[in-house]
Amino acid sequence: SYVLTQPPSVSVAPGQTARITCGGNNIGSKSVHWYQQKPGQAPVLVVYDDSDRPSGIPERFSGSNSGNTATLTISRVEAGDEADYYCQVWDSSSDHPLVFGTGTKVTVL
Amino acid sequence: QLQLQESGPGLVKPSETLSLTCTVSGGSISSSSYYWGWIRQPPGKGLEWIGSIYYSGSTYYNPSLKSRVTISVDTSKNQFSLKLSSVTAADTAVYYCARQPLAARRAFDIWGQGTMVTVSS
């Protein structure tokens, strides 16, 4: 099945930029979505279809996708951004069409 | 405002069938614009997609769970359900239901709060 690999953890100082990667074979040809999950809460969609933001999500959250890596970028990081982040892929042509990444814990220093 | 709410037993015995229902309020499950999905998360671990269903009954499942999973929809009650058979301790998890807009390439844009299911005798 298709595997999406994320770094287990990313640390960033307030006001700086956090970049979370999601690696997968030719992921650039697929649609990638990103979720934020805080402890004890359900995930929240922060980026969909590589780089679109749902209403209510700050512009500080942005996404890109090319080649074998998709990236979620959080600009001007705030303490409230500390959470787990998951990427997700949808590939209608695959026998395993929907896969989540392994997850990344973002720590705000 | 659309809301989803999971319900079902919090404790299931090994080898039995786990059954959960997701009730959709504030909108119709019969909309042609959405799929509806189940996702689970074992304690301290990541997210795992279980499967999804369209209001017409069309389904697609995670191949690793397909032999044990049945997802169904009841449009008259605005609900969809999950059945997972032959459960083991490895099926202990928080189970979420969520909406998937077709226009958002099957992202999950609205989630239920989740329900914890423990498999234990």
Handedness of CA A38, A41, A46, A47 (dihedral sign): positive
B107 and A49 within 8 Å at the Cβ level: the answer is: yes
Q: What is the pLDDT of residues A14-25, one digit of tens each?
A: 999 999 999 999
Angle in degrees, CA B75, B64, B107, rounded to 5: 50
Give the closest of A42, A45, A86 to B46, CB-based: A86
A99 pLDDT band (50/70/90 cuts)?
Answer: very high
Query: Hey, how many other C-beta atoms are within 10 angstroms of the C-beta on B35?
Result: 21
For residue A2, pLDDT beyond 90: no
Residue range A32-53: mean pLDDT, rounded = 97
How many inter-chain contacts (A to B, CB under 8 Å) are there? 65
A93 pLDDT band (50/70/90 cuts)?
Answer: confident
A48 and B46 within 8 Å at the Cβ level: the answer is: no
CA distances from A72 to B23, B32, B45 (A): 32, 30, 20
The Cα of B40 is separated from the nearest Cα of chain A by a number of Å equal to: 11
For chain B, the average pLDDT equals 96
* Ramachandran category for residue A93: left, alpha or beta (phi over 0 → left; psi -120 to 50 → alpha): alpha
Record the tokens describing residue A27, joined without a space.
């992921």
Task: Tokens 């995670």: give the residue.
Answer: B62
Q: Is B102 an 8 Å CB contact of chain A? A: no
Higher pLDDT, B47 or B105: B47
The Cα of A75 is separated from the nearest Cα of chain B by a number of Å equal to: 22
Residue range B73-81: mean pLDDT, rounded = 97
B64 pLDDT band (50/70/90 cuts)?
Answer: very high
State the distance between the two ends of chain A, measured CA to CA, in whole angstroms: 36
Segment 35-94 of chain B within 8 Å of chain A by CB: 37, 39, 46-49, 52, 60, 62-64
Per-residue confidence (pLDDT) for residue A95, from 0 to 100? 82
For chain A, the average pLDDT equals 96
B5 pLDDT band (50/70/90 cuts)?
Answer: very high
Per-residue confidence (pLDDT) for residue B66, from 0 to 100? 95
Residue range B53-66: mean pLDDT, rounded = 94
Q: What does residue B67 show for φ and ψ, rounded to 5 degrees? A: -70, -15
Residue of B108, B109, B115 to mutate for A, most A C-beta atoms under 10 A: B108
Beta strands in chain B (DSSP E): 3-7, 11-12, 18-25, 34-41, 48-54, 59-61, 69-74, 79-84, 93-101, 110-111, 115-119
Nearest residue to A2 (alpha-carbon basis) of A19, A27, A39: A27
The Cα of A98 is separated from the nearest Cα of chain B by a number of Å equal to: 7
